[in-house]
Amino acid sequence: MTRRLLSAGFLFISSAAAAGGFQNGPQSARLLGLGGAATAYSRDASAIFYNPGILGHLDSLTHLSIGGMGTVRATSFLGADSRRETRQDLSVVPGGYLYLTHPISDRVKVGLSVNTPFSYNTKWPDAWEGRSVVRSASLQTVYVQPTAAFKVNDNFSLGAGFIYASGQLKQERSLGQYDDQRATARFEGRGNGIGYSLGMYGRTGEDLAFGISFRAPVTLKMNSGTATYQNIPALDAALYPASSKFTSQVELPSALAVGLADHMTERLLVTFDFTLTGWGRYDSLNFDTQTGPRVRSKRGYEDAMAFRVGGEYEVSKDLLVRAGVSYDESPVRDEFITPELPDGNRLGGSLGASLRLNRVMLDLGYSLDVVGQRTARVNRTQFQAPSIAGTYRTLVHTLAIGASYSFGSKN
């Protein structure tokens, strides 16, 4: 009875909370089907990215999990003055993951995760009315995390991981001060950064497990980006050189998560997660060029909360089905909504399944997020936050396919 009340209480607290931004969905087909509630989910190696402590309680087999995923944002914009609707060009944000774990002993296990947790890919028509703000923008990141965990006892384990992150940023916009729409500015840079991840996992009995994790923020330092300007009138050639080097930083957020996993019945596992994402450090995106004008873009993100609930049902020993729901609060404040990433509060639903074929498990997950309508208003006094007045509507589709394989012998 106490266990049931604890689970219900956690769900109530979570649903009272209000992490969107440019997070690239749960990093596994299994976790996508669960709605991303992974902090206390110990049935798959992919959970080590979200909670390194789980690694200590995986069985004494070597586990390999690989997969690919794709996300499509379908966004429309209705201009406040023009009353003209524009739709983004549909483009897939690619992603993928690899997880490998290996037991050193019954108490010590090591693992490696490679995934793509943050990304976006925005493309608007070349001649759309907001082209001087952005025509296209993209960010791709890869996190590599070697991880180790120690099982303190049968009910408790601790884990830690080192994060090496790399990323590529691209942005293009029209120079609206010129009549020639072909006058454009392009920025492209690569950078890397480091961080860490800590976690603990425990069980209070045969049916109830909990997890707490913290993933540190990462700063991608881009020290040799390239800015290029095309079709600039001859009179302004000195102001906008054909090419210039720039430096920039992309601030990726921290994440603090608490989760529960409860075996409601012998076949049904229910998971709950609450996450606080430290988006507040993403305050601006600046391009400090060696020659040519410097670009200052205010972002003004705020820390955001999310809750996720997932369920996994064992239909048979060879078939598992999953479903999940989530609510992610957007970190983007009203005054800083831009067409680069017109984010909003998200309500999501997901489905997934795993089919066992001998020692290989095939995984499939799909989610649909409905993003709350956002209305942007131009603040003439906020020159470092360029935008265009209008209303955005967005749907986000994510599909992931993977396979898992376990080998070795249990102790």
Decide: residue 410, CB within 10 A, 0-12 exposed, 13-18 middle, 19+ buried. Answer: exposed
In 3D, which of 86, 68, 81 has the Cα closest to residue 127? 86
Better-scored residue on pLDDT, 208 or 335: 208
Residue with tokens 């914009």: 77
Mean pLDDT within 9-26: 53
In 3D, which of 305, 12, 26, 47 has the Cα closest to residue 201? 47
Residue-level pLDDT at 292: 76
Q: What span, in angstroms and rounded, lies between the C-alpha atoms of 305 and 15?
A: 10
CATH number of the domain bearing residue 21: 2.40.160.60
Q: What span, in angstroms and rounded, lies between the C-alpha atoms of 307 and 329?
A: 9
Structural domain of 335: 2-407
Residue with tokens 């994402």: 277
Strands (E), 116-207: 119-123, 136-153, 156-174, 184-203
Q: What span, in angstroms and rounded, lies between the C-alpha atoms of 97 and 120?
A: 17
Residue-level pLDDT at 21: 79
Backbone φ, ψ for residue 290 (5° rounding): -75, -40
In tens, the pLDDT along 76-92 reads: 999 998 899 999 998 88
Look at the chain and report how many structural domains it folds into.
Answer: 1
What are the DSSP calls for 237-256, one per residue?
TTTS-SEEEEEEEEEEPPEE
Mean pLDDT within 285-291: 89
Check whether 49 has a pLDDT greater than 90.
yes
Q: What span, in angstroms and rounded, lies between the C-alpha atoms of 291 and 240?
A: 8
- The amino acid that residue 53 corresponds to is G
In tens, the pLDDT along 297-322 reads: 888 899 999 999 999 999 999 999 99
Residue-level pLDDT at 387: 79
The SS3 assignment for 130 reads coil
Residue-level pLDDT at 176: 79
In tens, the pLDDT along 151-192 reads: 999 999 999 999 999 999 999 999 878 878 889 999 999 999
